[in-house]
């Protein structure tokens, strides 16, 4: 997503937690595309870090046009074994930090656009091994729609719900391929399609409260609505 935006001339504020080497490599590639890139380190499990990073970003980019909430954690958590540590980590990173970063953003800018990266699993109640993770993403779905109403007309809020794009550390390659082949289109989902979805939302100023399911139609298999 960062490379796609840079190709279109966007300057980038790039968040990382521990992956400094990868962040610096990404920064170099963005600058080679002709865009400015500033790096910001924060642990989004920590509320103070989350507020701190948005403050620093706005000092560098006071007219910030877009925030993409993409950071998340993905811990195995069957309901019967969810403990407080796992619960808090999913909700702190996947919900609480973007909640308060968005709040700070709208209170210090006049207009803008927030895009929340969700998950196709928001359409199912079959949590399986991922109860706390799924709940955190479901809450973000509702926050997307609620804030789209609450902070309009100055701000737009949209979401992208990917399907099996990247294999998680908790899945084998065989399990990952099975997930892909259980989707209606049975196609691999390259990361560029997520970037394309982001560009679509950006380029359509009349869209707010929308969620694009970039998932091969997987949400149709599990829709509860």
Among 46-50, 97-101, 103-107, 169-173, name the one with the lowest average pLDDT.
169-173
Q: Chain-wide mean pLDDT for the chain?
A: 92
> By C-alpha distance, which of 195, 222, 214, 207 is closest to 122?
222
Domain count along the chain = 1
Which domain covers residue 130, as residue numbers? 65-222
Q: Which two tokens stand for residue 60?
A: 């560098």
Listed ranges 36-40, 79-83, 123-127, 161-165; the one with the highest mean pLDDT = 36-40
Whether residue 42 is contained in a domain is answered as no
Residue 50, pLDDT score: 97
Q: Which two tokens stand for residue 218?
A: 């997987």
DSSP annotation string for 177-191 = HHHHHTSSS-----H
Whether residue 139 is contained in a domain is answered as yes
Q: Which residues neighbour 108 within 8 Å (Cβ) at sequence distance 6 or greater?
A: 58
Residue 163, pLDDT score: 75
> By C-alpha distance, which of 164, 171, 114 is closest to 140?
114
Residue 225, pLDDT score: 42
Confidence (pTM): 0.92
Among 165-169, 170-174, 212-216, name the one with the lowest average pLDDT.
165-169
Q: What CATH code is carried by the domain that includes residue 192?
A: 3.40.50.720
């Amino acid at each position: 997503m960062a490379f796609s935006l840079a190709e279109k001339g966007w300057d980038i504020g790039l968040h990382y937690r521990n992956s400094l080497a990868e962040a610096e490599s990404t920064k170099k590639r963005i600058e080679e595309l002709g865009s400015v890139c500033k790096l910001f380190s924060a642990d989004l499990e920590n509320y103070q870090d989350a507020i701190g990073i948005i403050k620093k970003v706005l000092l560098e980019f006071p007219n910030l046009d877009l925030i993409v909430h993409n950071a998340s954690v993905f811990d195995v958590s069957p309901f019967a074994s969810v403990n407080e540590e796992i619960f808090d980590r999913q909700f702190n990173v996947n919900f609480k930090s973007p909640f308060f970063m968005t709040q700070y953003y709208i209170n210090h800018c006049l207009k803008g656009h927030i895009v929340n990266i969700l998950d196709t699993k928001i359409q199912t109640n079959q949590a399986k091994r991922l109860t706390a993770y799924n709940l955190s993403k479901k809450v973000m779905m509702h926050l997307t729609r609620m804030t789209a109403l609450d902070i309009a007309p100055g701000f737009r809020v949209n979401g992208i719900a990917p399907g099996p794009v990247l294999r998680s550390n908790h899945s084998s390659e065989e399990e990952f391929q099975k997930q892909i082949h259980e989707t209606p289109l049975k196609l691999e989902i390259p990361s560029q399609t997520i970037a394309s979805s982001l560009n679509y939302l950006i380029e359509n100023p009349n869209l707010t409260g929308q969620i694009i399911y970039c998932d091969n139609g997987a949400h149709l298999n599990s829709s509860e609505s």
